[in-house]
Amino acid sequence: MSITVLNPGLLTTVQDQGRIGYQQFGVSVSGVMDPRSAALANIIAGNDQGEAVLECTMMGPQLQFDQANVIAITGGDLGPTLDGKAIPGYTAVAVQAGQVLRFTAPKAGCRAFIAFAGGLDVPVVMGSRSTYMKAKIGGFQGRKLEKGDQIGFRAPVKSLSHMEDRHIPPEFSPRPVYVLRVVLGPQDDAFTSAGIDTFLSGTYTVTPEFDRMGCRLDGPAIAHKDGGDIISDGIAFGAIQVPSAGTPIIMLGDRQTTGGYTKIATVITADFRILAQLKAGDKVQFVKVPVEHAQNLLLAQRRALKALSKINA
Amino acid sequence: MADVRFLLTGDTSVCVEFGNEISEPINAQIRAFNIALSNSSIPGIVETVPTYRSLMVHYDPEVIRCAPLMDELKGLLGQLDKIVIPPSEVLEIPVLYGGEMGPDLPFVAEHAGKTEEEVIKIHTSTEYLIYMLGFTPGFTYLGGMSDEIATPRLKTPRVKIPAGAVGIAGSQTGVYPIESPGGWQLIGRTPVRMYDSGRETPILPQAGQYIKFYAIDQAEYDKIAAQEAAEGYTVKRHPRKEGGK
């Protein structure tokens, strides 16, 4: 085997860009909470953007390498060290057999993504290597990592071309208040105009009820016209549900495919990289943008990723 | 189709809403639209998610942007009456009712003021529309169960319900596709695997199909269970006749 888990950390799972095409059967998409950061880690490690990575939450794992490989860590700064020496994020790092990767403490953000050159050797289930914990599907035995788990590499390398150039500036920096841009809908007409104003002008606080399914916020209650229940319909990544109590819940990777609460707006895809790094106590404000603008931002991000993957190919 | 609404669900999907009630005609429109969409040449469609009264369409904005997609979808709606939609399929699901497999059948019968045999007869007499799947992989939201056998949920949910358990909750009925906790009144169990991640088609039921349960005995149950464990059991299915039954 190639990695031995000495300590799994708080919540470490194998994730790729998600299980696409099975929502109609009730299968959650799962996938990394921050697709952009995971894609960047893969590009730096010489992989396809969509390769499976380890998603680490708050307290990262301790992993012993049993085989040499090249890794890259992106997303939040959880304080990575190799054999006790700090290693930089957003940088290709060659690791040797016997070395131990540890994370000391979260310094910025909440989630880090570790890419391994050549990818992890876990089975593809319904087109994806993502872990879907609720249904015990995919990833490493359908669950989060535990002490003693051993995971293989598919195609490890001792080094990559232009190792010294495989570095980009870290993207996430903490802020006193995070702005999440949203597209209003699908049920924005279920709220009073005062309710919409409350949503767009209020400051919300991330609560500890924050897992891979959703992120519950605390703050000014958003007024419905006639309650927060609807006949169940589909739920997008980033959908902001507002049940009758009036406080929002942002739906994330492991969300159920359908739900029966009004959704006031959806966080734009370009801002998932911020959303994924929020932690309890962080402050959030919402700003509405037209869908065309949201798509321009997303496509610009994708073009930049493509350009970068060509340089690092 | 006058009251079909297009609702924005972010920058990579749109929800096409056909109405605001749970009804078979609305669900039939969704099924027709979903089939028409999958047969269409509209580019950039990633996946679709049918629900009680809407179809969520996930798309790649790199291939098609929001406004042109909406125009295409509206155009498709306008042609729906010209598109021939095949009849829905009925899946025949064998169930071993009562006994260990259906520990709550006596309670359901008592609550309905009927015998266990009468409950089974009523439960197997209807073709139930699969309005949608959700909650867990392969979980069907079925419509059409007789109010005569409607029974409230258990006061204390069970911690572990086996895959294949057939239950009643209020006026809903359904099958647990995977082992999970739950509060439904269990009246029987099917040996058919509604979900098997190793299968070419992991999930058996599809939204828009119908399920018809039929009663089997222990010997038949064991036989089908053995087939499922070996090469797999092929569920009987037939096209639904207009008006059902």
Chain-chain contact of B10 with A183 (C-beta, under 8 angstroms): yes
Closest residue, chain A, to B14 (C-alpha): A186
Cβ atoms of A286 and A191 closer than 8 Å: no
Whether chain A has a CB inside 8 Å of the CB on B56: the answer is: yes
Closest residue, chain B, to A295 (C-alpha): B11
Structure tokens at A114: 């570790």
The pLDDT of residue B18 is 96
d(CA A295, CA B163): 42
Structure tokens at A156: 């490890």
The percent of residues above 70 in pLDDT, for chain B, comes to 98
Q: Nearest CA to CA, how far is B27 from chain A (Å)?
A: 12
For B28-88, the DSSP string reads HHHHHHHHHHHHS--TTEEEEEE-SSEEEEEE-TTTS-HHHHHHHHHHHHHTGGGS--PPP
Name which of B210, B56, B161 is nearest A255 in CA terms. Answer: B56
The pLDDT of residue B245 is 47
The rounded Cα B151 to chain-centroid distance in angstroms is 20
Cβ atoms of A200 and A192 closer than 8 Å: no
Chain-chain contact of B206 with A258 (C-beta, under 8 angstroms): no
For A102-160, the DSSP string reads EE---SEEEEEEEEETT-EE---BTTB---BGGGTBSTBTTB---TT-EEEESS--S--
Confidence of residue A313 (pLDDT cuts 50, 70, 90): low
The model's pLDDT over A188-242, given as tens digits with 9 standing for 90+, comes to 999 999 999 999 999 999 999 999 999 999 999 999 999 999 999 999 999 999 9
Name which of A254, A128, A233 is nearest A190 in CA terms. Answer: A233
pLDDT at B197 over 70: yes
Structure tokens at A312: 């690092």
d(CA A90, CA B54): 42
A-side interface with B, Cβ within 8 Å? 20-27, 125-126, 134-137, 183-187, 231-234, 236-239, 256-258, 263, 266-269, 291-292, 294-295, 298-299, 302
Secondary structure of residue A275 in the 3-state scheme: helix
Burial B41-77 (b: 16+ CB within 10 A, else e): ebebbeebbbbbbbbbbbbebeebbbeebbebbeebb
- A177-302 — its CATH code? 2.40.100.10
Chain-chain contact of A236 with B56 (C-beta, under 8 angstroms): yes
pLDDT at A36 over 50: yes
When scoring B3, B11, B13, B194 by the number of chain A Cβ atoms within 10 A, the one with the most, hence best to mutate, is B11
The model's pLDDT over B72-85, given as tens digits with 9 standing for 90+, comes to 999 999 988 888 88
> What's the pTM?
0.94
pLDDT at B35 over 60: yes
The model's pLDDT over A138-172, given as tens digits with 9 standing for 90+, comes to 999 999 999 999 999 999 999 999 999 999 999 88
Whether chain A has a CB inside 8 Å of the CB on B70: the answer is: no
Q: Domains for chain B: give ranges and CATH numbers.
A: 5-82 (3.30.1360.40), 89-239 (2.40.100.10)
The pLDDT of residue A311 is 78
Any idea what DSSP says for residue B74? H
Structure tokens at A22: 């099975």
The model's pLDDT over B141-179, given as tens digits with 9 standing for 90+, comes to 999 999 999 999 998 889 999 999 999 999 999 999 999
Q: Does the CA dihedral B168-B169-B170-B172 come out positive or negative?
A: negative
Of A25, A184, A234, Cβ closest to residue B138:
A25
ipTM, 2 decimals? 0.96
Structure tokens at A273: 């990289």
The pLDDT of residue B2 is 55
Q: How many CB atoms lie within 10 A of CB A246?
A: 17
Closest residue, chain B, to A133 (C-alpha): B136
What are the domain boundaries of chain A?
A: 3-165, 177-302
Chain-chain contact of A234 with B138 (C-beta, under 8 angstroms): no
